[in-house]
Chain A
Amino acid sequence: MIRKLVILALLSAACFISGGMLLSQHQDETLYPTPSLTKRMMLSDYFSVLRGGDGDTEVFEYCGDEGGGTVLILGGTHCDEPASYLAAYLLIETLDVQRGRVLIVPRANRSALTHNLQGEGHPQTFEVETLHGKRSFRMGSRYTNPLNQWPDPEVYLHSPSKQELSGSDSRNLNRCYPGRADGTYTERVAHALAELIKQEKVDLVIDLHEASPEYPVINAIVAHERAMDCAAFAVMELQGQGLEYSLEPSPQNYHGLSHRELGDHTNALATLMESANASQGRLRGRTDAQLVVTGRDKMYTRAAEIEMTRVPFGLEGIPLDIRVARHIEGTRQLVLAFNGLNAGKEVEFGGAPTYAEIVERGFGKFMHEEN
């Protein structure tokens, strides 16, 4: 009897401690927008069903003095792809819009930042050096937290295409577009984002992502056919700067992705960017906060030697600074290309550091905690 009680007490203590650790991930990081911020909204402003839930997320609006087009930047669609939301955070804390309008949703699937994917061994947080010391950020999951949407069906039937995907993809925001007002939790978030695009008459969507270094679509801009010209000019400009980028057309028979569905179901030009993130790859070695930040991994270096990676992967790895810098520069070039093709709808902004500046100093040095 005493032995059972001791075991029960030990188990209860383990549950209590680990439960506390898991709960700690529900706390959003504080962001410090620039004075250029004109409005701080919530996604539920566009679809009230989300109000107050984990799916409700902040929308930052930056308006220039002059009228122009509207660009929407999505970070944190997949929250195990940290460069996606850190690039969005960096823009929020540095942006100065002169013309047109920039909308930023840094945590598109906010629920996915509140947990880690079981079996992946990811750290809960990682730290980045800033001018004010170390700043901590959460590492999340590719999927919506099961606390918000559970159980998964065995097969996820995408709406409206009826395409079949594995059940876990029912919690993958980038397989749920254009979403459904009466659908699952994740489909409602996708629907709300599509509503935001329609109601705000967004012209250009830039969905920021990362992928494992062995993934075929990497260091790339993926574009809906209507956004192809814009993406092509941006890729040429990025290549001209010496950055490796490829241009990938959005597959017409693979549904649920932002570049396919937002392009088909809204008037926006839909694009998506990918950088190479070793911490989400299947070939990676030890999984810790160091891997997330430094991007160094000896297993991927071995994989590159047998040509199993789609990007060069040396001992120096692919650090978070470079991945964030690519997203910032890619965003800048997509907007410039959009401006060149859409006279009268230009969007002009400054403040954001250049690729070279971020690589030299680290993106953390440009974040503004004192605002």
Chain B
Amino acid sequence: MAFLKAFGAYVPSRVVSNEELAPRLNCTPAWILEMSGIEERRYAMPEETVADMAVAAAKQCLNRAGMSAADIGLLIVSSGTAERRFPGPAATVAHQLGLANTPAIDLPMASAGGLFAMALSQSLAEAHGNVLVVAAEKMSTVASRAPTEAGIAILFGDGAGACIIAPGDGPAKIVDAVMHSDGAFAEDLRLEFEAPLSMDGRSVIMQASRKIPGAILEVLRKNSKAAVSVEVFLMHQANQNLIDRVARALEVEPRKFYSNIRRYGNTSSASMLIAAAEWWENARPVPGALICFAAFGAGFHWGALLVETV
């Protein structure tokens, strides 16, 4: 059995409002808000790397868990926006955390990466001990590459989230997880080398609108749980309209879907863990509360993970 120990997050200090972004994209702040539910996002400084953000989130996570880097048996870093082909950011993050011999794995999966890393850690924790999962993205660079498309550039922000999954104990046990991949629509959301992010929004919304509720229901039904019994849904923050649609599909009150997309935009694989870190810091769930994570992203890859507080 594996447990969630703690979460951490980092977002850059530079706030980019819709008012700042709209003139550059030949649109209006009101249109951005209507299309996405986003009012502002954070952009990293030019010299700030994916690894830098990952380390900041990891350190907060370790601190909140009352652990040091030496307690980590395996590091997994998810990022779809690493600056180079190899080595990926995992080795750099490990080095910056002071880890010299700990295995560090890259998961270049984009939006579903944080969820997949957590789901895999459920079993990896048994073999390796405490697993530090970090998801970090510098989306501002890839979303604003020329030719810039307003419908894409408005969505994304930068940031990192982290989580520690432990084999022994923790404030919440991982009950189960489901993961799925289908390459049939791989061309509909992709990032080629040096090209801007390419997205067929209609295809992504159609698929995500079905697959996210489907994965959530799958993991709940496998464990004889109902959607209405879940305390909070911590979902990939892709678009507020999508989050609301998933809530409707599950017939769950929208307020049960924690959302911070208004402030950070879509930070790809980092978004779910940033949301989790914020929610976890302020929430005081009673023992036995169900928390459901869910994500969907390029690939397409999607899944859901169910935890229960102890």
Instruction: Answer whether A and B are interacting partners.
Output: no
